[in-house]
Structure 1
Amino acid sequence: MREYVQISVSQYLEQILLHLKSHGYVKSKRGVRGGHILKELPNKIIIGNVIRDLEGPLAPMSCVSITAYEYCPLEDNNCLLKPLWALIRDQVAELLDNTTLKDLLEGNLYK
């Protein structure tokens, strides 16, 4: 059972690395001294961009998405939640767009 978990984790991490490579965050090298390395310095990698590239828009609801807006029938009735979702979107984007990989690595999340 333990080997299965290790293989599964390895395959999962490999898929993540492939996505990171396809978006230009890492590069790989084959061979004995091979592996993966960042293509940019950690202070140049913006976490908001990484999440958008890997997961899509940051908006919690598509009706407030800037890049992937989708109409919601509740908008016609002055949805009371839409301003809240927009505020959440803005706050999350602000935090993620001002956080770098270096910040995460060094634990500097409270600037």
Structure 2
Amino acid sequence: MTAYALGNLSPEPVLNEEVFTYLERVQATLDPYGGRFLVHGAPAREVPEGTWPGTLVIIAFPTYENARAWYASDAYQALIPLRTRHVEGDILLIDGVPEGYDPATTAAALRTAAAG
């Protein structure tokens, strides 16, 4: 099942040599784990509900284990300070839904659980 690394990053990063180096090297840390960018630092084009002050990064991995292994890898851990010293944000790792996922099935299970 596909898993994702999501980043909600500051809308005003400090762009400098460390950030450029991070950007130049990050793909090489993803490659061994099958990671690929789906969205990379794009500001929201439209926010129809709520607020979204930052920029979004979405990286897909073949499995959650691949996502965790990438984040914990020595190669990526060495790059993290190049980003975090200049770009604030929140990062999370999350499972996607399986093929054929039906939200109505989830609603039925939640309804049953709520009824006690």
Q: Higher relative contact order at CA 8 Å, sep ≥6: structure 1 or structure 2?
A: 2
| Bigger CA radius of gyration | 1
TM-score using structure 1 length: 0.27
* TM-score computed with the length of structure 2 as normaliser: 0.26
Q: Which has the higher helix share?
A: 1
Higher strand residue share: 2
